[in-house]
Structure 1
């Protein structure tokens, strides 16, 4: 990875400069450094620095870096005046979901900003006073001299702040009704969409556009589609973020995943940009794109198809078309294997995994207690069937994703079991039931569960995970490892940053098992961010072990799967494990062991289907694409990309 961003060239019809960093950590650090420079410059000039601040997942790492700069490098916020974009309405400032609380937890409580210089829309203003309050908010911005730099994220609807589709370029600070998609995306923070406020206070598009500089940040595959519309689409109030194209000083800061759909990244040949056609990965990307664009199998692509779709240079350098087709077809064919752990006593020259050693010690990391079977259940079953020593590490308890009535049901079972079998203890089990029932009866939306309730919900999830492993043919007492990483155990959707204890626990397990194969969740689209943090824990642990000279890593390969949110692009796949109808059914049954997540998962994200439905649809779609490209036809395919450390 490099700390230097890739600057995308200007494109016809697009007027937003884009910087793409290799990951969101580097991007956030760069944005924080820019803000810090502006604060110091204004201080040297004897002037206040007026910042427009955003909330949500995008700016959190920026704020953490600003806090570090304050503590370690003496960055002072004494001259900073801040104005936040928005707030839910109604909303008490001390509520878990309040943006007042968010800003305090991530920034204000850790720096020396003056309390009187902090401005956040007030979610407690009486309805009849909202209009006047919003007018005064605009006045305060003007009295401060206007906003020097405005931070923004972007929602799936293309909203900036809470300016939903339909918001015009002249809109000012006001109350707005939230779009259904926005409320769905916020449901996890409020423990159910029914608890999400229907209204919010927000700066207007016009207010935002008056800032001297604007920095919009977006991370992850889930933002790629709306980023493309913002950067390359026409200016329209159906995607309010497109109005940023009219601003003279906007920066769009992305990670690789968020920028993946932009034309210079996805299909640079269409813009006649220089392409390194010696790069086999780029050729594979171009040829699979061409085949899907013209609706033909790879081996039926003609020279006319290449020439008519911007790929004449590829044809000139590597043609004829027949040779290119054969090469890419063979590369894709070699990704397919029914032996994910390697086929013993076989020529593995063109297989994605080594034949030896066999059997392998395999460690599957599962961020939540069901990601293993949802995302790679068919592969897990096949690894067990083929005799490998399979271990599964459940990185978090997943306790917040259990409905309250499930916790009551299990506490009731314990009480009834105790009574039926006359077990004696220092405390009757029915006391536990009554405490749990009384707590949950008076629990407020978004309130953190008591420690007892969190433990019960965690036990529900771990019991379901054990049941799924037994179904797969594994002894959970020997092969299930519940890490319960501390960063997750807050009882809230919002988690702590990754810490040294998370890394220590992960390294300890890796050293104990010394796997020859590791599987990890490599998707960044998880809307709650847990997958992202869990992957970072694995990567950091491996880097530290590697730096210490750990010998067993020399014979270890890491494969990344993707979860219920998104699949690898076809040109990225390096190992494709085909599933028969019977194997897809077995995988479904393993998922069904997670009963607390069945029928209506607590945090489904934007996709309202159950996880098993998403998983099967994704597996079938991948298989269909392989089929359409001219490869063998399967019922389903699970896909993996190798991470080389």
Structure 2
């Protein structure tokens, strides 16, 4: 086991017995999953706060701190409870006195600019709700970024100086063209001075003593994006695409976040106090490349988090997925436990990529010279062939035609199933002995922008006033008729795709919106319907972008997404009664969604399992709890429903398919099935996405990996996966294959089949790690 130099008792309690060579820029600790990451950071924070009751702290915003905040509050509020005492003993919290946090000085890390401090999506609001009030910190000792109070030229407000919320930083260097630009230039200089004063306030306190931050998709900490100077201080600055994509969820779309600047503390601000405890915590495989860059490359402004190497108490706290690309962790993977075919597959695949050489051209000497392939038991002439056979067997499984199956495909959000499995689903659905059900477990309303909803409502109002929503004249429409013939709205829309009649497609959407409003607001006649639409439009126009709307508007947005999901599967002849919308209650649009509870979130799934009686369940598989929080909470709910169902019947034959989509992907060695995807299948998926997910076509909430539609990112992923497998099997395996299906391959889809026991074991570990948190 490595030397635990400078590690505290709490940190040592989280070390496993794995020997790590610590070849990283900054020491790190690995835990199993996201909730345990929160426990580690909470205990380390409380340990530090006990030793530094008047210290200076800086804590992060966003979703990553969810379990840090939950554990910190839980431990403080239940300090003398038996289970908390056990946690304290286990993790070497040896002091009996509960840490007092009211003496700490809190420093806000960053903020969007401009943004009202009262908005629920401002970081000022966040730190006041979750840290100042939530943890009982002293507001008078806090150094905060309140955009409303930053002085501007002539005593004006930012709404007056920057009426469109756009700040042109080029005015720092250009001659103003008019009075407006002159005032804006003076205001920018005043903001710059305010930032310098903010920095000085922090330094007057001796600098930050305890810093906790996440790491962004470009490796940023705070808003110090890739390329930031290691000597940077607090400043007003622009961001890059990756950061804007992540911020889109906070601000109501990338069209907003790309125009918004930020105020951020600098890298030098974080490292000014040379005795500071500075921690970066990260969860999930998606963060692994950023962690590797910051930890294993020479510290540079390309890897902002590498600045922690300056500090003796700098740390990275990571989940296994986030640490998975570190050489220490790769060494441990190959050098511990029983060797199996998966290890052989990964080692040989890694070698082909490192050498950029097809597997058939690898020599025995190549294998013997590599630090990992040389470990393969019985290394010899047949080693590479075993990997080729392994890949081919997964392709054979992938193209096997199934019969008499009942598929229960689930998705945390709308479009998850389509992006994750559509080509394979379509392939198996052609056999009419199979039945398919599609269940989206949350309403997904947060993905519908106010702009899209406004346009849809305004269109509906036009169609109503023109008398083109003919169902309104039916005598029973407002009593019961609005509930009937919803499949007709779907057919009306799809029949006009081929004719490219946008007008009629908009009319079909308006039909569904009218039905939804009649249901939600219980309107009784056409005039009341029109007035209600006008009220909704007024409410939306009066809200800020990114604001969590009132419950009925939330539901209306979610119902639009549900209509989109019905459109997707109707492309393939699926009736609306086979597309299910569960709207699990834990999903509220709050920053931190609630944990799933049995009565509200598990029993609806169990009810469907009993009714549908599937032989196959597909789900977004995130056992580490590291993707979007909805994903792993849905995983918990499904696991508990399956666990309850297993008490009623024998599930030994039930198959679980774990898929991954644009947020994270399987390594092929961790998958069981490889499915070949043709250009036709790619086009089918892309067109069904574009035609059906109307609210998503403009990609207001894109992945940081791709500036465009999610469907294009899925295709990009499939193509990259094919390139990896071609290094093993060779290109000729596909284009010279006797099978037309394999000859037509231009991408590959991976998924993993599990038994019920295997799936529940994975889910159980995540469930255990959240027990005890309110």
TM-score of the aligned structures, taking structure 2 as reference length: 0.73
**Further displaced range: 166-175 or 30-39:** 166-175
How far apart, in 2, do the equivalents of 1:642 and 1:249 lie? Answer: 43
Q: Describe the SS at the equivalent of 2:147.
A: coil
1:349 corresponds in structure 2 to none
Asked if the contact 2:217–2:290 (Cα under 8 Å) also holds between the matched residues in 1, the reply is: yes
Deviations 1:408-438 (A, max 9, x none): 3345546644567524542323223322333
Count, aligned residues: 615
Q: Does 1:554 find its partner at 2:652?
A: yes
**Greater Cα radius of gyration, structure 1 or 2:** 2
How far apart, in 1, do the equivalents of 2:439 and 2:307 lie? Answer: 46
1:61 corresponds in structure 2 to 67
Deviations 1:280-322 (A, max 9, x none): 322211011122333344344211211333346325x4221x2
In the TM superposition, what is the alpha-carbon distance from 1:380 to its structure 2 partner? Answer: 1.4
Q: Provide structure 2 residue ranges, at least 5 long, that are not aligned to the other structure.
A: 1-12, 81-97, 152-186, 479-523, 735-744, 761-774
**Further displaced range: 204-213 or 578-587:** 578-587
1:483 corresponds in structure 2 to 582
2:270 corresponds in structure 1 to 208
2:416 corresponds in structure 1 to 371
1:104 corresponds in structure 2 to 128
In the TM superposition, what is the alpha-carbon distance from 1:5 to its structure 2 partner? Answer: 5.2
Asked if the contact 1:8–1:19 (Cα under 8 Å) also holds between the matched residues in 2, the reply is: no
Q: Does 1:466 find its partner at 2:537?
A: no
1:183 corresponds in structure 2 to 244
Asked if the contact 2:42–2:72 (Cα under 8 Å) also holds between the matched residues in 1, the reply is: yes
Pick from 499, 514, 539 the counterpart of residue 439 of structure 1: 539
Q: Provide structure 1 residue ranges, at least 5 long, that are not aligned to the other structure.
A: 345-357
Closer/same/farther in 2, CA of residues 538 and 158 from structure 1, 3 Å limit: same
Asked if the contact 1:384–1:473 (Cα under 8 Å) also holds between the matched residues in 2, the reply is: no
1:319 corresponds in structure 2 to 379
2:34 corresponds in structure 1 to 24
Asked if the contact 1:168–1:205 (Cα under 8 Å) also holds between the matched residues in 2, the reply is: yes
Q: Does 1:383 find its partner at 2:432?
A: no
Equivalences for residues 78-89 of structure 1 within 5 A: 78-89=102-113
> Quick one: higher RCO (CA 8 Å, sep 6+), 1 or 2?
2
Pick from 449, 453, 459 the counterpart of residue 549 of structure 2: 449
In the TM superposition, what is the alpha-carbon distance from 1:49 to its structure 2 partner? Answer: 4.3
Q: Describe the SS at the equivalent of 1:638.
A: strand
Q: Does 1:409 find its partner at 2:471?
A: no
Q: Does 1:253 find its partner at 2:317?
A: yes
In the TM superposition, what is the alpha-carbon distance from 1:249 to its structure 2 partner? Answer: 1.0
In the TM superposition, what is the alpha-carbon distance from 1:559 to its structure 2 partner? Answer: 1.7
In the TM superposition, what is the alpha-carbon distance from 1:516 to its structure 2 partner? Answer: 2.6
Pick from 652, 662, 675 the counterpart of residue 577 of structure 1: 675
Pick from 612, 622, 627 the counterpart of residue 726 of structure 2: 627
Pick from 393, 411, 420 the counterpart of residue 334 of structure 1: 393
In the TM superposition, what is the alpha-carbon distance from 1:331 to its structure 2 partner? Answer: 1.8
**Further displaced range: 28-37 or 450-459:** 450-459
Pick from 87, 92, 102 the counterpart of residue 116 of structure 2: 92
Closer/same/farther in 2, CA of residues 585 and 172 from structure 1, 3 Å limit: closer
CA RMSD of aligned residues (A): 3.1
Asked if the contact 1:411–1:436 (Cα under 8 Å) also holds between the matched residues in 2, the reply is: no
In the TM superposition, what is the alpha-carbon distance from 1:63 to its structure 2 partner? Answer: 0.9
**Further displaced range: 126-135 or 384-393:** 126-135
Deviations 1:238-294 (A, max 9, x none): 32211111211111011122222222334679xxx8465723322211011122333
**Further displaced range: 414-423 or 153-162:** 414-423
In the TM superposition, what is the alpha-carbon distance from 1:563 to its structure 2 partner? Answer: 1.2
Deviations 1:28-50 (A, max 9, x none): 111112212333444xxxx4243
Q: Does 1:392 find its partner at 2:438?
A: yes
Closer/same/farther in 2, CA of residues 224 and 413 from structure 1, 3 Å limit: farther
How far apart, in 2, do the equivalents of 1:55 and 1:262 lie? Answer: 26
| Runs (4+) off by over 6 Å | 524-527
In the TM superposition, what is the alpha-carbon distance from 1:457 to its structure 2 partner? Answer: 2.6
1:77 corresponds in structure 2 to 101
1:353 corresponds in structure 2 to none
Closer/same/farther in 2, CA of residues 414 and 96 from structure 1, 3 Å limit: farther
Asked if the contact 2:401–2:428 (Cα under 8 Å) also holds between the matched residues in 1, the reply is: no
How far apart, in 1, do the equivalents of 2:474 and 2:649 lie? Answer: 50
2:342 corresponds in structure 1 to 281
Q: Describe the SS at the equivalent of 1:225.
A: helix
